[in-house]
Amino acid sequence: MLLRVVTILALITLMAEGGQDPWQGRGRGRGRRFAPPEPLQATIAPNFAFARVQFQSVQQRRSPGWSHDYPRAERNLLRILAEVSSVYTEPAAHTIVPLASDEIMRYPVLYFSEPGTWAISPEEAENFRNHLTRGGFAIFDDFDGPWDWENFEACMAVVLPGRHLELIPLEDPLFQSFFHIKSLEMTNPTGRWAPSFWGIRDDEGRVQVVANFNNDIGEYWEWSDQGYYPIELSNEGYKLGVNYIIYALTH
């Protein structure tokens, strides 16, 4: 375990010392210009590809909420995942999938950014429900505050009626699937509110959905090679991301 943690720290340091990312200089955060979606452009045939979900939003902005931290977050996470685990992937193995498209069925893990802005459609709800009931897993990230939570909770009630969000305890296999996470207390990149981790389970107890509420681990992934946040915080964000993927692939 110590070796794994040291490996992540070393990788983050090397990433920070590397060349300039093509997105560097376009501005940090929500005001940054959004590039058109890229198709999956991996140089290998990966066993795992990271799928970011494009969904309808209640807010129209220059940079849509679902695209926040794209594509640096996934590139950095996939680099770490490939180095510390046996998952066959690479930094370019990422794509964007519309939530109402059958394409989501090709990816076991779906990543949602800023679900507090989600305006769910009937087509999205049905398609997402089918993904989850077939064994899919979803990560919701980068949302905080009462309004964001109410909107997210209402959307999930449409997707999985009768299911309820519950706090996920530290000892749950979700947090122990690869790295043995010792605490769920961490710092929100925005500095507002204390993060908490919520989930929805199926009838067998498998976590289908994890929600990083009052948190934004994608922000840590995105900027881990630029020195905006302490390495220790980025390290915790990566441990969560890797655990989520390993859990999804083994449950």
Report the domain count for the chain: 1
Residue 34 lies in a domain: no
Question: Quick check: 133 and 168 in contact, CB under 8 A?
Answer: no
Residues 111 and 128: their CA atoms lie apart, in Å, by 12
Which are the contacts of 230, defined by CB distance < 8 A and separation ≥ 6? none
Distance of CA 90 to the CA centre of its chain: 16
CATH number at residue 213: 3.40.50.12140
Residue 41 lies in a domain: no
pLDDT, one tens digit for every residue, the chain (251 residues): 545 555 566 566 556 544 444 333 334 444 444 455 555 565 665 789 999 999 999 876 667 899 999 999 999 999 999 999 999 999 999 999 999 999 999 999 999 999 999 999 999 999 999 999 999 999 999 999 999 999 999 999 999 999 999 999 999 999 999 999 999 999 999 878 899 999 999 999 999 999 999 999 999 999 998 888 999 999 999 999 999 999 999 99
By residue range, what is the domain housing residue 172? Answer: 2-17+49-250
Residues 81 and 16: their CA atoms lie apart, in Å, by 17
What distances in angstroms separate CA 226 from CA 12, 22, 24, 52, 165, one per listed residue? 9, 13, 9, 22, 35
Please report the DSSP string for 202-226 in residue order. Answer: -TT--EEEEEEETB-HHHHHHHTTT
Residue 32 lies in a domain: no
- Claim: this prediction has a pTM higher than 0.85: yes
